[in-house]
Structure 1
Amino acid sequence: MKDGTKEDYQLLAKLEKPYLAMTADRVMDELRRAGEDTLDGYKITRLQHGLQSGTRAERDGADIDWIVGALLHDIGDGLAPQNHDRMSAEVIRPFVRWDVSWVVEHHGIFQMLYYGRHYGWDENARERFRDHPCFDACAEFCERWDQSSFDPDYDTLPLEHFEPIVREVFSRKAYDPAVIREGVVSSLTGA
């Protein structure tokens, strides 16, 4: 890499554009893979969980960033189950608001409120983030859209319903300050 010229790197940037433009395709493929199996002990697939979360967000009146965040909050689970929250956040971070990626990144520790005690973990571990501006949004995200989205009988919207907004979000310019809005915390429901 250190021997590359400016012209070499300009050529690589040009050649990488088609690959970058296919990010939404890769995200959709990963979602489909998440629907291929049910993890032992769960009544639904990882895809169904994401679809339920996205459906709940949409029905609550959330905007496109929150809906995509809810849909994809566990997309990292297939490759990184021990830190899926952080991996999922990195997938969406260049394309959604700062608060959405922060919530996705931290939802795992916030979810421990519901089950941590059963493993001997600190169910209140999220309290270390109490003073963070996104604390309430993350707590609400987990309560409304994540922990409740394991219901095999829930009337869930299909993946095809969400594909246009996934493509819209991943077609944005990466790290666009007008999208990221660092430090701004938005309402989950627009209310």
Structure 2
Amino acid sequence: MKTVNFTQMKDGTKDEYLLLDKYEQEYIDGTADRILNFMKGLTSTLEGYKITRLEHSLQSATRALNDGADEEMIVAALLHDIGDELAPLNHSEYAASVLKPYVSEKTHWIIEKHGEFQMYYYAHHLGKNQNQRDKYKDHKYYQDAVNFCEKWDQASFDPDYESKPLEFFAPIVKKIFARKPYSLIK
């Protein structure tokens, strides 16, 4: 593989940056495959749950599919908790950041905020604000986030639920991540 000659970015030439841009685009094109491989590794769980993180993700996506959600939202449901591994204190924002270039403003917002919306189901048991989500009550996607959490996220911890396998979702993950990034659409 050809490499650049510079040791400081400020010394790079146009040809070197064109080369790096080519390599970066090839790497970007492999994002869906890297995500799917990462998902395969989510076979352990946080202590106390009856299912793995992968199974929770598959259940969420299967429920979205069965409810007739569009492909973008199905992929978002599948990937909504990918931040749990590396960013447990802000997993929603992590997942939303991964999805942001490829999904609508609405889908991004739902995934970014779902952690706060999920608090509705448990925060009061821990002496915290169960109604954290109410600060977004006037937001145009508020009800969509409520629905995401109610129908797909909070309901997906059932060891007896028959979810689709990861391989089933792979083609639509690849399709969503093959989109031209929203930031480039003019």
TM > 0.5: yes
Map Cα deviations across residues 67-102 of structure 1 (whole Å, 9 max, x no partner). Answer: 001110001111111110000001111111111111
What is the match of residue 36 of structure 2?
A: 28
Please report how far the alpha carbon of residue 5 of structure 1 lies from its aligned counterpart in structure 2 after TM superposition.
2.9
Does residue 11 in structure 1 map to residue 24 in structure 2?
A: no
Give the Å deviation of 1:17.
Answer: 1.9
Aligned ranges 1:158-173 → 2 under 5 Å: 158-173=165-180
Q: Distance in 2 between matches of 1:152 and 1:14?
A: 45
Does residue 130 of structure 1 match 2:132?
no
Structure 2 CA distance for aligned equivalents of residues 14 and 68 of structure 1: 27
Larger radius of gyration: 2
Specify the alignment match of 2:3 in structure 1.
none
Residue 2 of structure 1: how far off its partner (Å) = 2.7
Percent identity between the two aligned chains: 52
The aligned residue for residue 54 of structure 2 is: 47
Structural mapping, 1:80-91, within 5 Å: 80-91=87-98
Letter of the 2:158 partner, please give it.
D
Deviation for aligned residue 1:10 = 1.5
> 1:94: which partner in 2?
101
Residue ranges of structure 1 left out of the alignment (5+ in a row)? 182-191
Give 2:67's aligned amino acid.
Answer: D
Residues 51-130 of structure 1 correspond to what in structure 2 (within 5 A)? 51-130=58-137
Equivalent-residue separation in structure 1 for 2:71 and 2:106 (angstroms):
13
Find the counterpart in structure 2 of residue 152 from structure 1: 159
For 1:81 and 1:101, the matched residues in 2 are separated by 18
Question: How many pairs align?
Answer: 178
TM-score (norm 1): 0.89
> What stretches of structure 1 move > 6 A for 4+ residues in a row?
none
Distance 1:122 1:112 in 2: 8
> Equivalent residue for 1:141?
148
| SS of residue in 2 equivalent to 1:87 | helix
Look up the equivalent residue of 2:139 and give its one-letter code: H
**Counterparts of 2:38 and 2:85, CA distance in 1:** 8
The answer for unaligned runs of 5 or more in structure 2 is 1-8
Q: Which amino acid aligns with 2:113?
A: H
Aligned-residue CA RMSD (Å): 1.4
Please name the residue that 1:186 is paired with: none
Paired with 2:63 and 2:101, the residues of 1 have a C-alpha distance of 24
Assess if the C-alpha contact under 8 Å between 2:104 and 2:182 holds in 1.
Answer: no
| Equivalent residue, structure 1, for 2:5 | none
Alpha-carbon distance between aligned partners in 2 of 1:139 and 1:177, rounded to the nearest angstrom: 30
